[in-house]
């Protein structure tokens, strides 16, 4: 009897192909939208996580100025000179759980080679920046601690700067001019790409004291980059750094910090949580179209029951029972939702690839989203098909046969 009910249900759908396809459309769009929206959301989440991770692992960044309660930076007059190289040295020597420390300064300059010029961020720092920010050399070498102490005029170029200044010429050993001062190129960094809204390859790195004394004429540092030994100690390291700097800056207990310590691991966790919420919201909003599709199924099934009232009466007169009629119309509803779900999966995957190739957005197709969307579409078919199927099964055979 079950097989016969399937055959009768399929015959009923084949008799109204266009109506069946239009009924499927809501399910197709709903399933496709869920898969595409979740894929886009997961792609955004992965890009944000990769971007923050590209700044460095287990990273703390100390900047001058007190932090607002809302998380912004409240810069008071003169607050930009509250940090110096001795602060960085003290952190490296006195704070447990710290692996590497790299103080830094930076400023925009025009860099010139021959008849080529490029405006970029020139960063003065120490050799430890390589480990703190996970830099790797593509060619040449990085400057040494001795280069920092002797104020050497040497430079390591980011990939973007090297490409725009040298156009295929080997940069190593060449002389560039930064703010009209000559610097010898000793290395080129491997490409790192975008991170936290900036191009990490659009930079020139020179020794810290060279930048302070030969270019900028300053004695303070603009930030201190700290790499903790692991994520398990980074919160304690943050607290210890805060306590050390307050003591060094002789701040009273009631005086707010004149610096800010940012925990990039915490920033990453917050970003992951935020993007996960956005992804879930996108999925839920897209899932609402599945409910609309379910209402469409119920509407069409009710029309079908009305149109086939005499057929139902004849079947009941010939011995069909309540369960036979109920099963027939339920099967029709489930077939519509299953077929719509399968076509929706194809639409969602295709849309994800199209967004990735046309718009350039990263998308990650989630098997969980596919299974959940398809399962939800089947449940919607069952749920919204029960009422029309039950209405058909409860028809009185005599009244059904008299129906015009």
pLDDT in tens, 131-169: 888 889 999 999 999 999 999 999 999 999 999 999 878
* Residue owning tokens 């015009």: 404
Name the pLDDT band for 73 (thresholds 50, 70, 90): very low
Q: Which helix (H) or strand (E) holds 139?
A: strand 137-140
Hey, what are 158's tokens? Answer: 């980011």
Instruction: Specify the pLDDT at position 397.
Output: 73
- The answer for residues whose C-beta is within 8 angstroms of residue 4's C-beta and 6 or more apart is none
Hey, what are 334's tokens? Answer: 């489930």
Structure confidence by residue, pLDDT tens digits, 331-382: 878 888 888 889 999 999 998 888 888 877 788 888 888 998 888 888 888 8
Tell me which of 5-14, 175-184, 349-358 is least confident.
Answer: 5-14
Give the Å distances, CA to CA, from 73 to 143, 247, 258, 343, 401.
32, 21, 10, 51, 79
Instruction: Specify the pLDDT at position 80.
Output: 60
Helices (H) and strands (E) in the chain, counts: 13, 14
Instruction: Specify the pLDDT at position 209.
Output: 95
Question: Would the pLDDT of 51 be above 70?
Answer: no
Question: For the packed helices 322-354 and 17-53, what is the interaxial angle rounded to 10 degrees?
Answer: 40
Dihedrals phi, psi of 198, to nearest 5 degrees: -130, 160
3-class DSSP state for residue 219? coil
Instruction: Specify the pLDDT at position 76.
Output: 44
- Rounded to a whole number, what is the largest CA-CA distance in the chain? 106
CB-neighbour burial class of residue 180 (10 A; exposed 0-12, middle 13-18, buried 19+):
exposed
Structure confidence by residue, pLDDT tens digits, 190-223: 988 776 557 888 999 999 999 999 999 999 999 9
| C-beta separation of 340 from 374 below 8 A | no
Name the pLDDT band for 55 (thresholds 50, 70, 90): low
Name the pLDDT band for 266 (thresholds 50, 70, 90): low
CA–CA distance, 210 with 214 (Å, rounded to integer): 5
Question: Would the pLDDT of 78 be above 50?
Answer: no
Q: What DSSP string runs through 95-114? A: -TTEEEEEEEEEEEEEEEET
- The answer for residues whose C-beta is within 8 angstroms of residue 309's C-beta and 6 or more apart is 395, 400, 403
Instruction: Specify the pLDDT at position 70.
Output: 47
The angle formed by the CA atoms of residues 227, 233 and 237, to the nearest 5 degrees, is: 65
Name the pLDDT band for 117 (thresholds 50, 70, 90): very high
CA–CA distance, 283 with 97 (Å, rounded to integer): 41
Average pLDDT score over the chain: 83
Structure confidence by residue, pLDDT tens digits, 267-318: 666 677 777 788 788 778 777 877 888 888 888 778 777 777 777 777 777 7
Question: Would the pLDDT of 104 be above 70?
Answer: yes
């Amino acid at each position: 009897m079950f097989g016969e009910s399937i055959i009768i249900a399929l015959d009923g759908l084949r008799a109204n192909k266009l109506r069946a396809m239009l009924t499927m459309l809501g399910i197709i769009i709903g399933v496709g939208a869920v898969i595409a929206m979740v894929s886009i959301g997961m792609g955004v989440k992965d890009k944000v996580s990769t971007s923050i991770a590209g700044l460095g692992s287990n990273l703390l960044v100390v900047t001058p100025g007190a932090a607002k309660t809302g998380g912004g930076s409240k810069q008071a007059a003169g607050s930009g000179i509250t940090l110096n190289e001795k602060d960085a040295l003290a952190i490296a020597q006195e704070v447990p759980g710290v692996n590497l420390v790299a103080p830094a300064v930076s400023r925009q300059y025009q860099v010139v080679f021959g008849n080529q010029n490029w405006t970029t961020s020139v960063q003065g720092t120490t050799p430890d920046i390589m480990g703190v920010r996970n830099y790797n050399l593509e060619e040449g070498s990085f400057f040494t601690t001795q280069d920092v102490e002797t104020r050497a005029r040497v430079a390591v170029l980011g990939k973007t700067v090297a490409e725009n200044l040298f156009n295929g010429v080997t940069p190593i050993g060449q002389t560039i001019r930064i703010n009209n001062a000559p610097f010898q190129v000793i290395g080129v960094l491997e490409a790192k790409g975008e991170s936290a809204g900036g191009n990490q390859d659009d930079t020139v790195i020179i020794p810290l004291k060279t930048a302070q004394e030969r270019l900028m004429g300053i004695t303070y540092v603009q930030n201190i980059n700290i790499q903790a030994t692991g994520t398990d100690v980074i919160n304690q390291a943050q607290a210890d750094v805060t306590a050390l700097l307050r003591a060094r800056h002789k701040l009273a207990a009631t005086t707010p910090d004149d610096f800010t310590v940012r925990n990039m691991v915490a920033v990453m966790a917050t970003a992951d949580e935020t993007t996960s919420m956005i992804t879930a919201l996108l999925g839920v909003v897209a899932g609402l179209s599945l409910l609309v599709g379910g209402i469409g199924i119920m509407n069409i099934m009710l029309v079908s029951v009305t149109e086939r009232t005499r057929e139902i009466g004849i079947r009941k007169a010939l011995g069909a029972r309540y369960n036979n009629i109920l099963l027939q119309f339920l099967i029709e509803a489930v077939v519509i939702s299953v077929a719509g779900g399968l076509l929706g999966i194809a639409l969602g995957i295709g849309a994800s690839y199209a967004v990735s190739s046309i718009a350039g957005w990263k998308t990650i197709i989630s098997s969980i989203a596919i299974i959940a969307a398809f399962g939800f579409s089947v449940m919607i078919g069952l749920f919204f098909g029960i009422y029309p199927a039950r209405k058909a099964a409860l028809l009185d055979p005599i009244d059904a046969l008299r129906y015009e």
